[in-house]
Structure 1
């Protein structure tokens, strides 16, 4: 009987414990008065950042880390001057969403703080948001480095990888000390896989990081990219780093005028060399070559995608520039300070491209300066590049003019020589 009573007491106690646990889990009527539960947390719905008050007219948002603190003894860069008139046309001085008259609302779910859609061939700006607002470019600035490298370096030249290449900060494609890499391979790694080690190896051939950054800034200024200042060759954040949706679109358009750049950003996979074993590491073996893949999601998922460039740093957030073709029309899209929510940057770019293609070729709110951009509102606003700006972009066009002049002289000479010979023969005949 004692044992039976002990079982009953144990059962009652166990029942009480279970009941208490059930009641603690939520307000159930059998447990007596309901226990008040705290309200669920409020979830703020997604909203595209508002830029109507031009919050970044002079400089990018404040950095969240120390990446932009100048080195000891180095001055803090001042803000880039803001042109008196917006480059590209009056409407591009607006800071909110800039649309053609009568255009429908832009697609939802665009988290980019600034963006722009432009015609890659005519230079027409189709639509934009805070086009001249200043933000950080992250690795999209590699477009500028690639432009200089493609016009300066011998692509067949082979360089040997260094430990400094391998130790560079950020995204690396996998350069190893002692590896042998052609500039063509390095450029594929730069634009396809955003290799900062490839950027370091390329910059070393252009005179080092400091000299390369100077060349990048000179080219940007010569192209009237007045919101752009590179601080590193790779796009890692640094003191004074800046660009805008307008400038990045301009720089991308310039790069796309180089056929090899367009080919590289549209390449899905590329074989990259390995490197030998490090004799300092016991047991280390040779590292074989490996394929690298393009990191641009738009290239794989958007019909007509031509390729582009991705970027990310903690301060810049997600950045993106790309292009696509539809029915013979090529549009470029740029995103700055975007996020992966509510959709990924390449998906945001896809929606904006769809929007731009739907507007049609006559839609325009401004221009990107160039041979094809003949807007009367654009030309008077270009004050010209600084005196020390090296017009790298003009080199191919200048060479073309020289070629034409040389050809003219050669043809003229071929015509003139027989005439002179015939004339000389006539003179001699008369004298005889």
Structure 2
């Protein structure tokens, strides 16, 4: 039921966006030289002189950096673009933590609950706090939680726009997000350097830090709760480990970004395209980072985020958007929506939008006509 009649001009403006929504993304120009310094453009190993070289790693690409000082201590193919797998969830979390109320309750859609790959086990019959979904995302690597969060944020398209804008703001220009979960999709990419930048930004956010460093937590279920645990094995095995995220798909192979703090300094290690069994290697790379920090010249820098870009101005006269979480959707509409293809959704939006538009124009015309007669 309509509780407010939107002015025709406003409705026309908003209706024109319904059939083909475009989300404004701040534009940042990528630099012509490698981000973080010339040495970051090397495809081979780059390490400082005067100290022992980093331990060998089977990773195709990696970065060891002092987050506190903003220095890259060693790198191998730092800007090589590879499939990120679930390490992309670091960008999902960092982006959406800033946009979603963690106390908001959400009932996930069937689409979210049926995501392939790793899952925390969401049920469309239960409601979850956004805070719970972030725990599921970063602790259990839940692809179902990633989709539920994206839908709560306004849908996958909007979330991808938000994530890619955040990546550019961080100067993570190698990163292109196509899915909120990190599941492989053509055109999706990141780099070891970018994962270090994203992790550094995340570590500065208290909620992000809380999610990645939590070892175990109670998770709600339709009846009661169950316990989930963090997939990062180094939280139990490495002194000073604070988290961040691991990932794996058949195409991406293993990827990981992790951070540890000792003596007031945090070292981050990010690896990409590893065949697996990387936990001991990462521990050795972290040890090396702590041992050379402050004793050798860095080979690069972790650049700072760009200033916040002003959002694109809202079209004049357009009505403010109303946010509806999946939990607020009637079951019948939820079922119908899950059965639609992209084509039927588009056609349905056009038909329904056109019908409403015609009805409002006719109503407006009738009111004008009636008022005209009363003046005669």
User: Contact between 1:265 and 1:308, CA under 8 Å: does it hold in 2?
Assistant: yes
Output the CA distance in 2 between the equivalents of 1:161 and 1:217.
24
Output the CA distance in 1 between the equivalents of 2:172 and 2:96.
19
Q: 1:90 to 1:346 in 2, by over 3 A?
A: same
User: Contact between 2:260 and 2:267, CA under 8 Å: does it hold in 1?
Assistant: yes
User: Contact between 1:221 and 1:386, CA under 8 Å: does it hold in 2?
Assistant: no
Tell whether 2:32 aligns with 1:84: yes
The aligned residue for residue 229 of structure 2 is 293
User: Contact between 1:218 and 1:389, CA under 8 Å: does it hold in 2?
Assistant: no
Give the drift of 1:386. Answer: 9.0
Give the drift of 1:288. Answer: 3.7
**Which of 254, 262, 272 is matched with 1:336 structurally?**
272
Which is higher, the Rg of structure 1 or of structure 2? 1
Tell whether 2:124 aligns with 1:190: no
1:161-200 map, 5 Å: 161-200=108-147
1:371-382 map, 5 Å: none
**Which of 88, 102, 113 is matched with 2:50 structurally?**
102
Q: 1:385 to 1:289 in 2, by over 3 A?
A: closer
Unmatched tracts of structure 2, length 5 or more = 1-28, 314-376
Q: Deviation string for 1:345-389 (max 9, x for gaps)?
A: 222211100111111224311111128xxxxxxxxxx9x999989
The aligned residue for residue 221 of structure 1 is 168
RMSD: 2.0
Tell whether 2:299 aligns with 1:365: yes
Output the CA distance in 2 between the equivalents of 1:82 and 1:145.
21
The aligned residue for residue 28 of structure 1 is none
1:45-56 map, 5 Å: none
Output the CA distance in 2 between the equivalents of 1:338 and 1:113.
6
**Which of 194, 202, 209 is matched with 1:262 structurally?**
209
Q: How many residues align?
A: 284
Output the CA distance in 1 between the equivalents of 2:117 and 2:157.
18
Instruction: State the secondary structure of the residue aligned to 2:260.
Output: strand
**Which of 67, 92, 99 is matched with 1:145 structurally?**
92
User: Contact between 1:93 and 1:132, CA under 8 Å: does it hold in 2?
Assistant: yes
User: Contact between 1:115 and 1:335, CA under 8 Å: does it hold in 2?
Assistant: yes
Give the drift of 1:177. Answer: 1.2
Q: Which moved more, 1:311-320 or 1:99-108?
A: 99-108
The aligned residue for residue 358 of structure 2 is none
Instruction: State the secondary structure of the residue aligned to 1:152.
Output: coil
Unmatched tracts of structure 1, length 5 or more = 1-80, 276-286, 372-381, 391-432
Give the drift of 1:308. Answer: 1.2
Q: Deviation string for 1:163-183 (max 9, x for gaps)?
A: 222111111101001211000
The aligned residue for residue 203 of structure 1 is 150
Give the drift of 1:103. Answer: 2.6
Instruction: State the secondary structure of the residue aligned to 2:98.
Output: helix
Give the drift of 1:214. Answer: 1.1
User: Contact between 2:66 and 2:293, CA under 8 Å: does it hold in 1?
Assistant: no
